[in-house]
Amino acid sequence: MAAPRAGFGLPTRVLHWVMAFGILGTFALGAYVARMEVGLGNLWLFGLHKTIGAVLLALAMARIVWHGIAPPPGPLPGPPEWQMTLARAAHRALYALMLGVPVSGWARASASGLDVVIFGRLTLPAIAPASPAVEDALALLHRGLAWGFLAVILLHVAGALKRAIGARDGTLRRMLRG
């Protein structure tokens, strides 16, 4: 099952793309629920955001474990050293944010004092004290980290497209087809 040294293994590629679409969808849903006029008819959207966000947190942890078992191949050579350093830093930041964004959302939801329910029935333990001041601070943190996540994702996608369209060096192809 280990990824061959020359490319990304199937589990790594499946995790990458499932999580990429999941994260972008959860971001859009979060931005929507934070701005919608809340009513009884749309409360379930909060639960959906928390549920998908919690699944993404579990997948991020699985991905980090899998990374240890089957380390990804090094980057294809070509770009100047500063771009390689930037890409490595972006990958590290993406991993930190794959954990930090959902954990901050979970903490923010805990601070509201309401049960943090996912899948409509499973109550997660509270990881922050219930208090309006803590809730405000954590809401700011979750929002800031989520928008920072989007910024790093855009940088990462720009780098991937530059190599796919500009250099045509197989970087995108090996993440798609191995």
Please report, as ranges, the residues that interact with ligand HEM according to CB under 6 A.
Answer: 12, 16, 19-20, 23-24, 26-27, 30-31, 33-34, 49-50, 53-54, 56-57, 67, 72, 75, 91, 94-95, 98, 101-102, 105-106, 108-109, 116, 142-143, 146, 149, 153, 156-157, 160-161, 171-172, 174-175
- Whether 11 contacts 66, CB under 8 Å: yes
Dist. CA 45–CA 54, nearest whole Å: 14
Task: Report CA-CA distances (Å) from 102 to 15, 27, 54, 105, 146.
Answer: 17, 11, 7, 5, 9
Shortest approach of ligand HEM to residue 167 CB, angstroms? 12
Minimum CB distance to ligand HEM smaller for 134 or for 143: 143
Main-chain dihedrals φ then ψ at residue 124, nearest 5 degrees: -80, 150
Tell me which DSSP letter residue 115 carries.
-
Shortest approach of ligand HEM to residue 134 CB, angstroms? 13
Shortest approach of ligand HEM to residue 135 CB, angstroms? 9
Shortest approach of ligand HEM to residue 152 CB, angstroms? 8
- Burial of residue 168 (CB within 10 Å: 0-12, 13-18, 19+) is exposed
Minimum CB distance to ligand HEM smaller for 31 or for 134: 31
Shortest approach of ligand HEM to residue 108 CB, angstroms? 5
Minimum CB distance to ligand HEM smaller for 69 or for 161: 161
